[in-house]
Structure 1
Amino acid sequence: MYVLCTVIAALVCFLILKWMKRRRYCTDVKRLDGKTVLITGGNTGIGKETAVNLAMRGARVIIACRDVDKARKAVREIKARSHNVDVLYMELDLANMKCIREFCTSFLKKEKRLDILINNAGMPSVLDWTDDDFSMCFGVNHLGHFLLTNLLLGRLKECGSSRVITLTCDNYKYQKLDFQDLNYNLFPFFTYCRSKLANIYFTQELARITEGKGVTAYAVHPGYVQSNWTCHFSILFRIVMQVIMFMFFVSCEMGAQTVVHCAVSDSVTANNGGYFIDCQPAKLRPFAKDAGVAKKLWEASERLVRLA
């Protein structure tokens, strides 16, 4: 009897956990033949699963990564899974502004199209600094993508009906920006939250300034995903988090679904500048919809990355 009760309890717990991790899949079957997609951090996790999905739809997919060896391996896997040979990588370090500028110069020389830019790469809550002395989270998650997007914006406008999708997180709600200390790096988790809030403001202001110019922008919370973000932490932390992620987090394939939805669905254009969760528009906290703050952050970011 005890064994039977234990089995039933375990089964109930399993079903509850499975129900908690339910997500919607992108059901749009739209093809992307002739389109070019650029995905930062596309060599692993959500980025790689997004690359596979969009390559299967016929897109030319370019993954931008810092680690060349991992990028080469990822390209082989993406080609094999998608049956699309038009997949390649370019080296990019979002923690280095000079590298970002060099990457964009090279990209614009080699690529005549850019239809979808997916700002996927990100740093977790780490207490570290970029090569330009920005806190790692704010420097990579916001400023790096801010500069990258602006330098490629002309090509996006040329292609028309282009999209910029930036991955954020719903933990944005735990912090507000401090314009006296945007480079805040005292408590890593708070720094991460601020960088994700910055992603949301960035998306809103990008949508505003490109309205009617052939570019739309979307911020996506992919859910809590079983990715390799724990590689930046200690072994003990990784072990504990692997157990937690197995129980409560969703797969990378499932996490990529809302990103894919925003990349291909025609319905999302009605929510330009919007925030998406689970393949549908989601509500933001009131402070995260402040257009004045979004514009102020954009102008401050221009100064920080020295964007003329």
Structure 2
Amino acid sequence: MKDEIVVITGANSGIGKAAAIKFAAEGYTVIMACRNLELSRETQKEIIAVSNNDQVKLMELDTASFASIRTFCSAFKSQYDKLDILIHNAAYMNHGEKYRLSPDNIELTFATNVFGPYLITTLLLDDLKKSKNPRILHACSNIIKHFFDPKRKIDFDQLQGQKKDSKRHSVYKNYCASKMALLMVTFKMADVYQNDGVKVNALQINGAKMSKATLRKVKPHWRIIARIQNLYFPSPSVMAQHYFDICTSDKFETITGKLIDHKQKMMQQPPSHNPNVITQIKQITGSKVYPAYAANPEIQEKLWELCNSLTNKNMVTPSSEQHA
């Protein structure tokens, strides 16, 4: 058995579950950080059986709730003396849902996909710094390609309940914006944590086959599209292998602040000059570059300050004695 510890959010299904199996099979202590413990216990038993590793632990975590995050981080600190790998895999997107708020009055998609991961990382930073080779991985998405459209922007004016009664709300657009925001947080976090030796990267996920259970959760009219996509998407284990390689291999030991594609190649910011039509098509359909919006320093700073301001009151974890 190894002495490395990995936390994987949303490890009860899909890529998160496949990643938990991979890390457990390789001898890591795996912390499954999941919102629904009742549904996750059977998955935990399955992972233990498949990997022949009983060091697969289940801990409750709702990444959309700052209170849940604080409780989880405090419980983790009371049980473990370091953290080697932190994988932000959990995400929220539910087609057709109305504008929803998190317990902290934040639009649910951004609370789950951006501000929650930011707070978790901040609270566990000292634990990561105790590792010999700490790494953080954010599960990004090729949905950010919508930002090749120069008109596409993150709507900062609808993240704190401002548009909960608006009929113009789109979960899909918010999911797209949240994944762009997560990438921007990746870049900023890598810069801020560079002197601490913590490597922070993002993986651009092109999709993975959905399980039958996940397909049943999709709205009927979207389910048809999802079934068609399933014919072409790789199994979750393919992306899980990328999680493992990025977080453990020597190839990525010194790499930080990068968006990595499905071939484990580092993606680049496109050239500043206006591309011609053919180049634009190549950018949208390929995986060599990401939208220039992601590298905008002013937007990065605005987002970073918002992360700070929204989570600042939640930085102090409860006493660990409560979880002893």
Structure 2: tracts of 5 or more residues without a match: 147-151, 268-288, 316-324
CA distance in 2 between counterparts of 1:273 and 1:231 reads 36
Is 1:220 paired with 2:203? Answer: yes
CA distance in 1 between counterparts of 2:205 and 2:176 reads 15
Deviation at 1:230, TM superposition (A): 4.5
52-61 vs 184-193, greater mean Cα deviation: 184-193
- Residue 25 of structure 1 aligns with which residue? none
Aligned match for 2:191, one of 188, 208, 214: 208
Mapping of residues 41-190 of structure 1, within 5 Å: 41-125=10-94, 126-127=97-98, 128-174=100-146, 175-183=152-160, 186-190=169-173
SS of residue matched to 2:81: coil
**CA-to-partner distance for each residue in 1:22-43, whole Å, 9 max, x for gaps?**
xxxxxxxxxx811000000001
CA distance in 2 between counterparts of 1:109 and 1:269 reads 28
1:64–1:165 Cα change, 3 Å: same
Is 1:272 paired with 2:278? Answer: no
200-209 vs 286-295, greater mean Cα deviation: 286-295
Aligned match for 2:293, one of 276, 279, 287: 287
Is 1:254 paired with 2:238? Answer: yes
Mapping of residues 223-234 of structure 1, within 5 Å: 223-227=206-210, 230-234=215-219
Aligned length, in residue pairs: 276
Does the 8 Å contact 2:24/2:30 carry over to 1? yes
SS of residue matched to 1:280: coil
TM-score, normalised with respect to structure 1: 0.84
CA distance in 1 between counterparts of 2:123 and 2:240 reads 25
SS of residue matched to 1:139: helix
Does the 8 Å contact 1:163/1:263 carry over to 2? yes
Q: Give the residue type in structure 1 aligned to 2:174.
A: T
Does the 8 Å contact 2:107/2:159 carry over to 1? no
CA distance in 2 between counterparts of 1:92 and 1:232 reads 21
CA distance in 2 between counterparts of 1:94 and 1:70 reads 16
**CA-to-partner distance for each residue in 1:180-221, whole Å, 9 max, x for gaps?**
444577111110011000110111111101112121001112
Q: Give the residue type in structure 1 aligned to 2:58.
A: Y
Q: Give the residue type in structure 1 aligned to 2:8.
A: I
Deviation at 1:259, TM superposition (A): 1.5
- Residue 297 of structure 1 aligns with which residue? 303
Does the 8 Å contact 1:115/1:159 carry over to 2? yes
Does the 8 Å contact 2:199/2:254 carry over to 1? no
Is 1:195 paired with 2:178? Answer: yes
Identity level (%): 30
Q: Give the residue type in structure 1 aligned to 2:153.
A: K
Does the 8 Å contact 1:222/1:259 carry over to 2? no
